[in-house]
Each structure stands twice: as C-alpha cells, then as structure tokens.
C-alpha cells in the first residue's frame, strides 16, 4: 500500500499524522509513505526525525481578513495544485490522507478527480476551515470527538467514523514507577505537570510560578513536586525563578519522551490542544485546562468544554487566570483525593488509546473496498 499524507502546519496536525505513519511502518502495512507539508522548520524536523520523506508545497494559510495576503495566498494555491498534481502522478498513492491543515486541500480535491480514496482527520470538536471545505469531497471523515457530529449535516454524518485522535504508542507503555525513576523524582510526592505545549505558553509559565510560590506557603507545599515544560523562550527564566523555591522540580524547555512526564504525573495543568487532550485522556489524567485564547474559532475552548462537562477536567479561561485562582484550583483537587480519583476515572473514560489503530482500520477499508 502506498500512502500519501498531508500533515503540515502545526504540531496538532503533524503529531497525529506521524502516529499513523509510524503504525503503518511498524506493522509493515505500507510499502511507502510520503508526507506533504510546507516550509516550516517544525515540519521538516519532525518528519525527518521519524524517518519519513517530506515533499513541500507552496500553499499558504488562508487569510482571515481582506489584505494583500490574498495575492500571496492565491498564487500559492495555484502553485500548490500544480505541485500536488505532479506528486500524485509520480507517487501514485492508493490512498490520500489529510490531517486537517491547509496543505490537505489540493491533495484531497485532486485525489477525488483521480478516483483515489481519501480520508480527512479532524482533531478538534469543531472542524477546521480546511476540513469544512474538504468534507463534501472526502471519502470518509475520522472524528476525535463525538460532539463534532452535531455540527455536521446528515449527508456528511454518513461519512464519519468516531476514531479518536491518533497518538504515539509510546504514550501508553510507561509505568509510573519507571517514569519517576527515569526523571529523578520522589515516589512519595504528588507530581504536578505544567505543560504549555510544544511552543510553550508564557502566561501559563508565569502564573504557574506564582501558583507554586503560593502552594509552598501551605502545609502541602512539601508534599508536592513539579515537572515544568516551558518552551524554549522561558526555560532559563523559569529555572531561575524556581531556584529560590524550596520545592523539588524538573524544568525542561521540551521533552521528546513526553510519555515519562505523563506517567509520572498526578495532575496536569495545560492548554487544551487536541493532541495534548488525546494523550492526557488516554493516560486517564485529571487536568486543569487553560485554553489558548487565540486558537482559530475557539477550538481549544470547545475542546476543554467537553472535558469539563464530563467532569474530567477543570476549565479556567485565560482572561480569568490569576495565580491565586490557579493555586486554589490545584489545592482544591489535591486535597480531595476522591475528587482527583473521580476526575481521573472520567478522563480515562473519555480517552481513546486505540485511536491510531481505528484510523488504520479505516484506511485499510478504503484501500480494500
């Protein structure tokens, strides 16, 4: 089987795409896999580091407002259709997969005209703009949230399959004891994980530091330890801030093996990007979610709302975030072990650790139909 996959743009599109590609490669389900993306360093670094080939096309992100960017977008769109045409004609895929970024558009549309079965994957509750445009052209649509179905027409609903958002298999393999030892943490302390995403989150870092200071003022301060994934811009600042705090901490700009951080943690404070939530719920971790306020169409807020409604997480909007509120929320959870346990159970119930395998089954069904 020859698989062509558009998985460019942000990590939210690339990581699930790599999870699918790695599964196909590991189980020898595909003879050849070709990834298509743009010119960002993140794309080329992540794809090449996993041993896959990347072809770049010239399409730019869709301008949200009328400006001169429309000229650049229009030119890039024309070029990308030509590039995609030659990629399809030379690579000759048996299936084309779009992971939701704008790079999917020319490939999925051309796949339809060439009679190649195709699949689009939606990571968030609300369809991305690209997937809204592509849904009528798609052979099948893989959804991560059941709540997405209420936004779709009956015609599109017939194409959907609730698979969950693909995650790396390593996420589920590490035991807590192994992770605690690997990271040099204390097995007798409760572990908090502050996670700003692959690019970090300055406001989460800032209020996380202040909340940690407030937690240390109480009796529970000596009973907790912190893993802080800061992003590259804030790592030295966060490390300097924690030097004055009498708390066991691990401060990292980035952790490629996030499975160890998840396995070691008892509570996560994080954004609500789709990949993060897929990993958190698959591990059955309770969370305090602080959605990125500028995510397109409020994607992160809608994602977080689902977990809060199911009592798997506590939601704090960025506009309401203060150090005191974050401290009070964390303290309220870790001092009520039964509540923390209930949240963990709800999170686990929402998790779809077999999502990658479900998407693979969908791909195979398209090829063998």
The answer to whether the CB of 9 falls within 8 A of the CB of 37 is yes
Question: Domain locations in the chain?
Answer: 2-167+353-368, 170-350
CATH code of domain 2-167+353-368 = 3.40.50.2000
User: How confident is the model at residue 62, as a pLDDT?
Assistant: 67
Q: Cα separation of 228 and 270, whole Å? A: 10
**C-alpha to C-alpha distance for 280 and 306, rounded to whole angstroms:** 14
Q: Look-up: residue for tokens 């590039």?
A: 83
Give pLDDT, residue 63. 64
pLDDT of residue 197: 58
- C-alpha dist (Å) from residue 165 to 19, 92, 239, 272, 282: 10, 27, 33, 13, 10
The reported pTM is 0.94
Answer yes or no: same fold for 2-167+353-368 and 170-350: yes
| pLDDT given at position 114 | 96
What's the angle, vertex CA 267, arms to CA 164 and CA 189, rounded to 5? 140
Q: Is CATH 3.40.50.280 correct for 170-350?
A: no
pLDDT in tens, the chain (369 residues): 999 999 988 888 999 999 999 999 999 999 999 999 988 888 888 999 999 999 999 887 766 666 677 677 778 889 999 999 999 999 999 999 999 988 999 999 999 999 999 999 999 999 999 999 999 999 999 999 999 999 999 999 999 999 999 999 999 999 999 999 999 999 999 999 999 755 558 889 999 999 999 988 877 778 999 999 998 889 999 999 998 888 899 999 999 899 999 999 999 999 999 999 999 999 999 999 999 988 877 899 999 999 999 999 999 999 999 999 999 999 999 998 899 999 999 999 999 999 999 999 999 999 997
């Amino acid at each position: 089987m020859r698989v062509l996959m558009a998985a460019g743009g942000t990590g939210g599109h690339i990581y699930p795409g790599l999870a699918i590609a790695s599964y196909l490669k590991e189980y020898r389900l595909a003879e050849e896999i070709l990834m298509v993306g743009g010119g960002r360093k993140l794309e080329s670094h992540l794809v090449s580091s996993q041993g896959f080939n990347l072809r770049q096309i010239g399409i730019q992100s869709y301008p949200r407002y009328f400006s001169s960017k429309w000229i650049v977008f229009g030119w890039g769109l024309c070029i990308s259709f030509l590039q995609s045409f030659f990629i399809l004609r030379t690579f000759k895929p048996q299936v084309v997969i779009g992971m939701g970024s704008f790079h999917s558009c020319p490939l999925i549309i051309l796949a339809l005209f060439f009679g190649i079965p195709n699949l689009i994957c939606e990571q968030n509750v609300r369809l991305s703009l690209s997937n809204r445009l592509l849904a009528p052209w798609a052979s099948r649509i893989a959804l991560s949230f059941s709540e997405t179905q209420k936004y779709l027409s009956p015609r599109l609903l017939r194409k959907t399959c609730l698979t969950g958002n693909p995650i790396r298999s390593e996420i589920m393999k590490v035991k807590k004891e192994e992770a605690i030892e690997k990271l040099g943490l204390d097995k007798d302390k409760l572990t908090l994980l502050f996670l700003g995403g692959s690019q970090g989150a300055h406001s989460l870092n800032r209020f996380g530091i202040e909340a940690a200071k407030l937690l240390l003022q109480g009796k529970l301060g000596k009973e907790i330890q912190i893993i802080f994934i800061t992003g590259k811009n804030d790592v030295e600042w966060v490390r300097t801030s924690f030097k004055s705090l009498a708390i066991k901490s691990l401060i990292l700009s980035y952790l490629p093996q996030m499975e160890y951080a998840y396995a070691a943690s008892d509570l996560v404070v994080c954004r609500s990007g789709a990949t993060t939530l897929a990993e958190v719920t698959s591990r059955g971790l309770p969370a305090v979610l602080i959605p990125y306020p500028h995510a397109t169409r409020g994607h992160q807020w809608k994602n977080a709302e689902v977990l809060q409604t199911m009592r798997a997480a506590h939601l704090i909007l960025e506009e309401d975030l203060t150090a005191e509120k974050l401290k009070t929320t964390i303290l309220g959870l870790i001092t009520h072990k039964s509540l923390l346990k209930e949240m963990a159970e709800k999170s686990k119930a929402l998790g779809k650790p077999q999502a990658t395998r479900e998407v693979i089954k969908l791909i195979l069904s398209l090829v063998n139909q």
